[in-house]
Structure 1
Amino acid sequence: MQYSMLEVAFAGHVAKVTLNRPDVRNAFNETTIAELTDVFGGLDARDDVRAIVLAANGPAFCAGADLNWMKKMATFSDEENRVDARRLADMLSAIYRVSKPVIARVSGDAYAGGVGLVAAADIVVAVDSARFCLSEARLGLIAATIAPYVVRALGERASRRYFTTAELFDCATAQRLGLVHEMVASDALDGTIEKMTATLCANSPNAVRESKRLVQDVAGRVLDEALIDDTARRIASIRASEEGREGVASFLEKRAPAWRD
């Protein structure tokens, strides 16, 4: 499928999805939302894709919602606004729940919904000059649809502050708070991401997929008998899987596993 707001490229087992609206700082509108939802749904179904990089063209990563789109929303009925907001929520969920690990390549500033895109990713590599801002309160809005992902990334205390103050914070602060994993100089950005994707692609595709789901399912749950039983069931299942047996056999036989092609 051809996209008007995105560029999609493949290199080996890695898919790269690039926001391509640099003239508006990669702000998203209803078309961008639909395209991101579609492409992540398609990549989820592809066995040949083991990692996804979410990137952006131009000096900014994503400025959040497009102003013209926001003007249009102001004329919507309550029901139309609910439907439109649900599409945005579904897009963020598609990124968060895709079975492949997602690396956000943050090459510039991320504001509002752009912070949501960053928070929905599994791994975040950002240039040291990137700035972040949950700016919704300045416009009389709230960061509702991105909140499930941002609060998980920043934690409750930091989220209380930055949701209400709409302050700008730098990349070092974002890293300290847990939103960013790796902060690098701009000339080291692609090299760092290439190493990360190579590491991911060297691992068992099934184990990577199940590990991502495990963390999402376990996080925040009460440590009770049901959780203990669930984790025991998961490891028993993976041990008996084709890749589980191949991984153990290849280690014992001192050879590369079959999934490393």
Structure 2
Amino acid sequence: MRRLSQLDVPVLALVQGACFGGGTGVLAAADVVLCGEDSVFSIAEVRWGLHASIILPQLADAIGARQVRRYALTGERFDAAEAQRIGLVHDVVPRDALEERGAAVVEAILASGPGAVRTTKRIARALSWTAVDDTEFTDLVAEHSAARQSPEAAEGLAAFAEKRSPSWRS
């Protein structure tokens, strides 16, 4: 996520259908996000006995700390209109118009000076929460990795794969 966010070139994401967990982190790291009107989203890691530590910085930039707390703590699903309202996506379009709208965004970027685009992205990134230093990011990765090895995560991921409730919901 960090490398995606730090690319010198603009990143455009198009969403069709469901976007859960780490996928929301990809969207938050992108510069422009468009989705189909039937898309559904969730920061679902807590449902699987995990936490979203490595995507939380990007999500905090995209949707704000308050919305991160709500959606990362509950894992609840939300629709395209809510994703736009909170800032996870920029535009919601009919699914069959998604590619055309994406092409229009690419054309708008290509019409701009490449140096100006790179500099603008670098400055905007430096002003954001995602400018965590290497030590902080390494700590987030280590914490996330350790959590994936926990019994709680094993149970949560197994329950997800088996389409059943995890043991803590019994």
User: Shorter-chain TM-score: what band?
Assistant: 0.7 to 0.9
Structure 2 unaligned regions, length at least 5: 130-170
For residue 204 of structure 1, the aligned residue among 99, 106, 113 is 113
- Matched residues, percent identical? 39
| 8 Å CA contact 2:61, 2:128 repeated in 1 | no
Residue of structure 2 in register with 1:233 after alignment: none
Cα deviation, residue 218, structure 1: 2.4
Cα deviation, residue 219, structure 1: 3.4
Q: Secondary structure at the match of 1:100?
A: coil
Q: Kindly provide the amino acid, as one letter, of the partner of residue 61 in structure 2.
A: R
Please give the TM-score of this superposition, normalised by the length of structure 2: 0.74
Structure 1 Cα separation of the partners of residues 100 and 44 of structure 2:
31
For residue 111 of structure 1, the aligned residue among 7, 15, 20 is 20
Cα deviation, residue 151, structure 1: 1.3
Q: Kindly provide the amino acid, as one letter, of the partner of residue 103 in structure 1.
A: L
> Any residues of structure 2 matched to 1:1-261 within 5 Å, and which?
92-219=1-128
RMSD, aligned CA: 1.0
Structure 1 unaligned regions, length at least 5: 1-91, 221-261
Q: Larger C-alpha radius of gyration, 1 or 2? A: 1
Structure 1 Cα separation of the partners of residues 27 and 17 of structure 2:
12
Structure 2 Cα separation of the partners of residues 179 and 123 of structure 1:
9
Please give the TM-score of this superposition, normalised by the length of structure 1: 0.48
What are the Cα deviations for residues 60-106 of structure 1, in whole angstroms up to 9, with x where unaligned? xxxxxxxxxxxxxxxxxxxxxxxxxxxxxxxx111100100000011
Cα deviation, residue 107, structure 1: 1.5
Q: Kindly provide the amino acid, as one letter, of the partner of residue 23 in structure 2.
A: G
Q: Secondary structure at the match of 1:167?
A: coil
Give aligned pairs, total: 129
Structure 2 Cα separation of the partners of residues 210 and 151 of structure 1:
22
Which has a greater percent of helix? 2
| 8 Å CA contact 2:60, 2:68 repeated in 1 | yes
Structure 1 Cα separation of the partners of residues 32 and 126 of structure 2:
17
Ranges of 4+ aligned residues in structure 1 off by more than 2 Å: none
Cα deviation, residue 153, structure 1: 0.7
What are the Cα deviations for residues 186-243 of structure 1, in whole angstroms up to 9, with x where unaligned? 11101101111001001100000100111111236xxxxxxxxxxxxxxxxxxxxxxx
**1 or 2 for the larger relative contact order (CA 8 Å, sep ≥6)?**
2
Q: Kindly provide the amino acid, as one letter, of the partner of residue 41 in structure 2.
A: F
